[in-house]
A and B are shown apart, each in its own frame.
Chain A
Amino acid sequence: MPKILIVDDEQVIRSGCRQILEMNGYQAEEAADGREGLRKLAAEEYDVVLTDILMPEMDGMQLLEEASKLGKDVVFIVITGYATLESAINAGRRGAFDYLPKPFNADELIAKVERALEHRNNLIELRRLREERDRNLLECSNERARTLTIINSMSEGVVAVNRKRQIVLINPAAAKLLRFDDKHVIGMLIEDTIQNPELREIICQSLENVAKTQSFKRLEFTTSWNRTLEAGITPISDEKGEAIGAVAVLSDVTEEKKIEKIKSDFVSYVAHELKAPLGAIEGYLNLIIEGITAGNPEKEREMILKSRDRARGLIALINDLLDLSRIDRKRALKEMGPVDLKDLLQETLDFYRLRAENKSLRLGFAAEADLPPIRGNREDLSRLFANLISNAIKYTPDGGEVKVDLRRTNDHVCVSVSDTGIGISEEAQKYIFDEFYRAPNALAKKITGTGLGLAIAKKIAEDHHGNIRVESRENAGSTFRVFLPVLDRYAAPLANSGHA
């Protein structure tokens, strides 16, 4: 039920109005002057105020002024004895909605009040809508800030252009990738900012005939400063399918490209290394099958033996490749624990003793006492030293010597494997740890090998935060040294472990 306040110093008018209003289903209250009216207005909610202008204490104009400070959606109707336009305009200026000239009758009063109530409802609705809009705007600006923050923190570059080919948005990553200052390019044309012609061209294409080509375009290009970038360009279209812009997402794929190249080189290398022995085996088999060597059983047997050698070489190569990929697996998956190197080296040497004896090689081993164990993967370390020791035996002519030495140097344990073999030229030492590299003197002497043994050794050493070095002169033997870090928590000799 709407509540009406009647402010008038004339009691007759106050009670007359109240009766009319109550008869028409309104709730009405009275105030004898502006001050009392203001008090009531401040304390309670009213829908409409009927106020006289001329009153003691506080007149209607003052009341209007003071009431407007309360910030309430109350609608004022000014009761005025001077039915002049001037006082109505004055009251209107002060925020009154309407005026009621005296004398007035019941119908006129009710009509005015109803209009005022309608206006009040509109006011309330308007306020609600305004608040809603403000709330939406707030959300909107929050949303925008949030989106911008996200875009600006992306590692991919984002550039948006409008239909006129002006840059309208660019995040720091894109500015960095394209090497320009993001503060100054907004609004500039792409032909004045983007250096790469292919990227410009593809953005322009995306801006044309979008309806026909609603498509995502992909581009890989190399910048003038030699980075390979990948760009994904998507047209932005309005509901009619017209282009209103385009957005490009950029990322630097230089490193991936490098890795891809290494990988494909490796694969083709491996393919070749696998095909050669198989081709040789097939060649020998063809000779035997076609009867070309039929008159010569000696030669045929020789060929079969050679085929077997090639098959063995192939198996060794495949084992090495499997080793490589096993070592490349995440180190996290590997069990690392304390490894007693002395024990490990002894085991490895025992394995190769027979091979050394067959070549009349002396095999020596010296180890410092009380060495701390190191932290590592036993299987991998075993492979590392097996590769070094078997190489030493393989590249040392009959009657020579291979020595393994284990000692501590500061924070490292050093394992050295030295031989009196054919040695490695200074030139070849640069490549000796590369995959598939074989030293020329080894090839000339027809010593078989996969070219992977030392690459595997190096990988394992580095996996253990260690390193491997070679010292050698051609025809004067080689020494390979492996340094592995000693970990403090294993610094106590094994015998004392558990008595910390």
Chain B
Amino acid sequence: MAKRVLLVDDDADFLEIHKTILESGGYEVDTAATGQEALEKIRSRRYDLLIADLIMEELDAGFSLVYAVREEEKTRDLPILMLTSAEERTGFRFQLDKDKEWMKVDDFAAKPLSPAELLKRAAKLTENR
């Protein structure tokens, strides 16, 4: 039974790249370009991992998506990997020990990730699913 990942990014190329990598690792992949679209997908089917970009159309789109996911009973335990290429724009250091609690994500990574790195993180986050 393949594990299912939802990729959320407003950059079509990153969706394409990450989808290709994850599929090569044996995951089933869905994509969404906005936080709203992602929420609809998460509500309609079960995922084993959410990989979301921090900045989508506006600065806090990634945050609001994560908070929405954590608020819903059904998706509260969904593992989330937050990606960003804008560490310097947010002022957060994206260090798990400092920001994990309030950002409510399970892992951070700066874009771009090497294929091996992305697969390693996805495997770690989905091992108990």
Please give the residue numbers on chain A whose beta carbons come within 8 Å of chain B beta carbons, in ascending order. Answer: 268-269, 271-272, 275-276, 279-280, 282-284, 286-287, 290, 292-293, 299, 303, 306, 310, 440, 443, 446
Q: A292-B21, A306-B16 are in contact. Are A279 and B115 (CB under 8 A)?
A: no
B24-A276 in contact (CB<8A): no
Q: A269-B89, A280-B11 are in contact. Are A287 and B57 (CB under 8 A)?
A: no
Q: How far is the CA of A306 from the CA of B20 in the complex (A)?
A: 14
B17-A272 in contact (CB<8A): no
Identify the closest chain B residue to A271 (Cβ): B88
A283-B86 in contact (CB<8A): no
- The contact of A280 among B14, B20, B21, by CB within 8 Å, is B14
Contacts of B18 in A (CB 8 A): 283
Identify the closest chain A residue to B24 (Cβ): A292
Contacts of B115 in A (CB 8 A): 286-287, 290, 292
Contacts of A271 in B (CB 8 A): 86, 88-89
A287-B11 in contact (CB<8A): no
Contacts of B86 in A (CB 8 A): 268, 271-272, 275
Q: How many chain B residues have a CB neighbour from A under 8 Å?
A: 23
A287-B88 in contact (CB<8A): no
Would you list 29 pairs from A and B whose C-beta atoms are within 8 A, ordered by A residue? A268-B88, A269-B89, A271-B86, A272-B55, A272-B86, A272-B89, A275-B86, A276-B11, A276-B85, A276-B111, A279-B14, A280-B14, A282-B112, A283-B13, A283-B17, A283-B113, A284-B13, A284-B17, A286-B112, A287-B21, A290-B116, A292-B20, A292-B21, A292-B24, A293-B20, A299-B20, A303-B16, A443-B57, A446-B12
B85-A275 in contact (CB<8A): yes
Main secondary structure of the interface of B (DSSP, over half): helix
Tell whether B28 is near chain A: CB-to-CB under 8 Å: no
Contacts of A443 in B (CB 8 A): 10, 57
Tell whether B128 is near chain A: CB-to-CB under 8 Å: no
Contacts of A269 in B (CB 8 A): 89
Contacts of A303 in B (CB 8 A): 16
The digit string for B36-77, where 1 denotes a CB below 8 A from any CB of A, is: 000000000000000000010100000000000000000000
Q: A284-B17, A287-B20 are in contact. Are A272 and B85 (CB under 8 A)?
A: yes
Contacts of B116 in A (CB 8 A): 290
Contacts of A283 in B (CB 8 A): 13-14, 17-18, 111-113
Tell whether B95 is near chain A: CB-to-CB under 8 Å: no
The digit string for B4-33, where 1 denotes a CB below 8 A from any CB of A, is: 000000111110111011001000000000
Shortest distance from the beta carbon of A74 to any chain B beta carbon, whole Å:
88
